[in-house]
Amino acid sequence: MDENAVTISLTVNGTEHELDVEPRTVLLGALRDLGYTGANVGCDTGRCGACTVRVDDVTIKSCLRFAVQADGAAIETVEGLAEDGELSTLQEQFQEHHGLQCGYCTPGMLMSADTYLRDAEDPSRAEIRDALEGNLCRCTGYHNIVDAVESTAEELARGDQR
């Protein structure tokens, strides 16, 4: 163990982890070291959103947060959206509406959309686009992603959710 390492505790998708990290380790790296590889390393500047996770119910860019800053936090990653091997409604809609191509941005898009949909009531396409603003996709042109989020919002309004 490095002499500068700090012991932290993270609860990731409901599972508690205790780990030793160097103070300069970003949360994204710590999560990936724990085996949560859904959040992707993209730009390392917080611009692309591929590393988006939720920390204590707030979406953040995990490449911009040090792991020690998340000590004691509840973290949700894209792996936590599926339950007992069943995709969430949002994940199913991304699949149904072809809201992904290469899939690199998809984890961040899903986490941002899932957080947004928790409070959104009957969102417009413009509001959905605004909610996803911090996530970049170089493949889809966003149309199908917005379709998937819009369809999920409609299902949630009807009570059809997982």
Question: 1 pLDDT band (50/70/90 cuts)?
Answer: low
pLDDT in tens, 127-155: 999 999 999 988 877 899 999 999 999 99
* % of residues, the chain, pLDDT over 70: 98
* Model pLDDT, residue 45: 87
Domain 6-80: give its CATH architecture: Roll (3.10)
Whether pLDDT at 126 is above 90: yes
Beta strands in the chain (DSSP E): 6-12, 15-21, 52-55, 58-61, 74-76
* Model pLDDT, residue 115: 97
- Establish how many alpha carbons lie within 13 A of residue 41's alpha carbon, considering only the half-sphere containing its beta carbon: 9
CATH number belonging to domain 89-158: 1.10.150.120
pLDDT in tens, 65-93: 999 999 999 999 999 999 999 999 999 99
Q: Where are the domains of the chain?
A: 6-80, 89-158
Whether pLDDT at 116 is above 70: yes
Taking residue 14's Cβ as centre, other Cβ atoms within 10 Å add up to 9
Query: Are 63 and 52 contacting, i.e. CB atoms less than 8 angstroms apart?
Result: no
The model carries a pTM of 0.92
- The first and second tokens of residue 96, run together, are 């149904």
